[in-house]
Structure formats: C-alpha cells, structure tokens
Amino acid sequence: MGATATEAAEDGAAVAGGALGLGLGETVRELREAYECGRTRSVAWRRAQLRGLLRLLEEKEAEAFQALRTDLGKHHAEAYRDEVGVLIKSTNGALQQLGKWMTPEKVWVPLIAFPATAQVVPEPLGVVLVFSCWNVPLGLSLEPLIGAIAAGNAVALKPSEISPCTARFLADNIGRYMDPSAVKVILGGPEVGEQLMEHRWDKVLFTGSPRIARAVMAAASRHLTPVALELGGKCPCIFDAMGSARDLQISVNRIIAGKWSSCAGQACIAIDYVLVEERFAPILIKVLKSTLKRFFQETDHMARIVNERHFERLSSLLKDRSVAPSVLHGGSMDAKNLYIEPTILLNPPLDSAIMTEEIFGPLLPIITVKKIEDSIAFVKAMPKPLAIYAFTQDAALRRRIVDETSSGCVTFNDAVVQYAIDGLPFGGVGQSGFGQYHGKYSFEMFSHKKAVMKRGYLLELTLRYPPWDESKVTMMRYLYRFNYFAFVLSFLGLRR
C-alpha cells in the first residue's frame, strides 16, 4: 500500500533511482550532467529507456492497478483502458516510429543560395520538467515522459501529491527500469513544486488548474523557460436527434463512457454538460437513466471522488438552492466512501457555479435549446474548451461546428476516445491551455527544430554584394520572383 498524502508531502525532495534524499539542487545538477555528457542523445539510449518503460508497465501492472484503486477507486478495467493500455500502445508506437521522427527533414533551397542543401534537424531541448495531474496520474505522468525520452532529454517528473500511491509507485519503479541519473521522480507537495520552479529548465509541461498554471508561468518567466499547459475547461456535448433507437442507445453508451466512466467525470476531457433540443430532451434523459442503472449496478465500477475537499466542492454545487430543483436523477452522496451517485440535472441556472465552473465530477447538466443550431452560439459564448463533442448525422451541422467554434479538438459521435489516437495532437487553446503532445507531437513538444544549411563553392553570385547598380537589382528581381528553371532559361536567352 502506498504512502498517505501527508507522507508524500513530507518526503519533500525524495527522488527515485537510488538518489533518495538528494536535495533538489543536487537532483537538477545530476540531470543536467546526464544530459550534457551526451548520453541521452543516442538512439540506443532512447530505445533502451522506452523498452524499460514497457517492462515496467507489463511487470508491475498489478501494482499499478492497486495504486490507482487506492488513490481513485478505479476498477482495473478502467485503469487498463485509460492508462496502462494507452501507455503500452504509445510506448510501442514511439519505438516503431523513433527512427522516422529523428530523421532530418530536407528543405527546398531557392536559387539565391545555390549550390546549397538545407534541412531541419530535431534536437533535444535539454532537461525538462513534467508536472502531472492526479486524475489520470499514471497516464499524465508517463505519456509526456515517452515523448521527452524519445526526443533525447533528461527528465524530472513531479507527480501530484493528491494521488500519493501512484506517485510512490512511480518513484519506486522508474529508477529500476530506466536510467536513474537521467530520469527522476520527485515527490512532494506544492512547496516542492515551487522549489523546482526556482531552477532553470529547458521546458516545463504542467497539467492542472489555471490558477496554479499562472504561478508556474510566472516562475518560468524568470528563466525565460518555455511552458506548455494542459488545463481543461467545460467540455460541451451537442446532442442532435438520432435517426434510430439503436443509434440513440449507442450514443448514450458513449456519453456515459465519456462522463461517468472517465474517473467519475474527474477528467479534463470529460463531458461537462449536454446541449439538446427541448423536444428531444425527455427521450435522451429516459435512455440515460435506464443505461446508468444497467452500467453501474455495482458502485465500484465507477471511480470515487479523489478526496474530501473535492467531495465537498461537488456537494456544494448540488446544495445550491437554485440548482437543487433541477436534479432529475441521482444526487445521493456517501461522504465516508467519497462516492457521489451519477447525477443528471435539467436546465440549472446558467449563472450558477455548476454552469460557470468546470465540474470535474459525476454531475451532468442538460441544457435545452429551441433548435440544435443554437448550441453553436451557446458554446461560442463560453471560454474555449479542451474538447467539443457532438452526436449528429447532419453533415452541415458538423461543418458549422468545426468552422465556427474553437477548441482543442472536436469529436463527432463519441467522447474521450480521441485521447488514445496518437496521430491526433492533444492540447488546448485559449484558457484550456497551449502546447500539444501524443505520438509524434510529444516528440516535437520536447524537441527544438534546428535549421541546418550547407553551401558549396561551385557558383558565386556577386550580385549580392556592393557596389550596387540597376543590373543587380534586375537580376535579384528574377531570383526572388521566379523559380529556378524560369530564371535559367531567361538568363540563357531561351525564354522571353
């Protein structure tokens, strides 16, 4: 069994990989030395770390499940679906694609530089810091780590103290399966995070709340450290009338998976609220109720609320006098076991906290509109979300949603599954964050694209040098306005 939250916080600068007890300054210095010696740049080192991570996930699967169960009450099926399985897929993908990602990209060179070659060479940024979040504590720690390692960086990982068992699992195992001098897990609470930001990093990735993100950015600015933020927001679900009972049932299954089966709604990409036409709302609610009863006959098939503070926060949303009358289903709470029943609300006041703050829990407001097209204006009036979901067979509506709204991603006729597709970048826009990762995008997030050019001596165009005259200007006009072959033909008098 893992450490308690208090014990994890008291660990301060506890570091994995046999460096337990090192001060933060010494830890950062060791990471910097591991990178500066050049070891992390080799493809052999990168592959070895990724293979070590695969072994960790496979050999320590049961321990990972237990940590996630203790921290969040996640059933092992959910833990595998959303975290362990996704990570195995991502790691295998990185191993398969690493050579391609590392290959320099050739760039076309204009005539003014002839003879020359140019390319873009990806190089590691250096020593990077990853702050992960408590709701998907394994996935949000290791998914960016895969990209950072694939890119050739040394990495410090600061897991959330709010999920202490998973944090301890990472600290106990990362150093056993990966290079302990170049990949370190640092345990502790907010004070440790503040101390980490006093040091210079080459990139910081933070996943969490906007409030803490502002503090991270302010601290990073002292060293001009680039920052990527993954923040979330109120992700809407636009629900159009379905053409058949089968399509309706499948859509409801997917909504439930995208809300209550994703860490009990405690996920940045979980559905926050649903927009539906007034005439269709009763049908949708009826199928939601019946399906919820079927899916969650066993209460342990849904994760619990992470801690008492978040439980009280969610409870207060329901206890709001203006909100309570809108509860149509669920609403029961078990403070001892940190359990809140899947809850459906119909048209809570739009100025209430449940509609102005990110819910991050198993409460689902349903907002009715006169016609489904009105949902677009509703979404546009809110801060830009991390994801927009829309269940519709209407191609024109789909085009309007893509063209007229802004979000980190748009998913049609499903929810949350886009997170597992490596070919799609994961990241926000506006208040939902900035910076993208997953698959090749993770590699690029932790890489610098270095421009490299090489010229030869075969030809020297003296028109680039003074003294100036009009003939040189005329020649330069050709160079800048026409392609190489057109210029050569004109120069040789073969084309007017």
Q: Which residues does the annotation mark as catalytic?
A: 230, 268
What DSSP assignment string belongs to 19-88? -TT--HHHHHHHHHHHHHTTGGGSHHHHHHHHHHHHHHHHHTHHHHHHHHHHHH---HHHHIIIIIHHHH
Strands 409-412 and 343-346: what pairing?
Answer: unpaired
Q: What residue type is 430 in one-letter code?
A: G
Q: 462 vs 452, 454, 479, 491, CA distance in Å?
A: 23, 18, 13, 15
What DSSP assignment string belongs to 318-342? HH-TTTGGGEEE---EETTTTEE--
34: CB partners within 8 A, 6+ apart? 40, 154, 179, 181, 182
* H-helix or E-strand spanning residue 478: helix 470-481
Contact 188, 9 (CB under 8 A): yes
d(CA 218, CA 215): 5
Cis check for the bond before 210: say yes or no (omega within 30 of 0).
Answer: no
d(CA 148, CA 142): 10
**Ranges of H-type helices in 200-332:** 210-221, 245-259, 281-295, 308-319
d(CA 246, CA 403): 29
Burial 403-418 (b: 16+ CB within 10 A, else e): eebebbbbbbbbbbeb
d(CA 19, CA 219): 26
Among 274, 273, 278, 430, which Cα is nearest to 356's?
273
Contact 283, 252 (CB under 8 A): no
d(CA 265, CA 416): 11
| φ, ψ (nearest 5 deg) of residue 288 | -60, -50
d(CA 395, CA 377): 18
Tally helices (H) and strands (E) across the chain. Answer: 19, 18
d(CA 112, CA 117): 12
* H-helix or E-strand spanning residue 368: strand 363-369
Secondary structure class of 288 (helix, strand, coil): helix
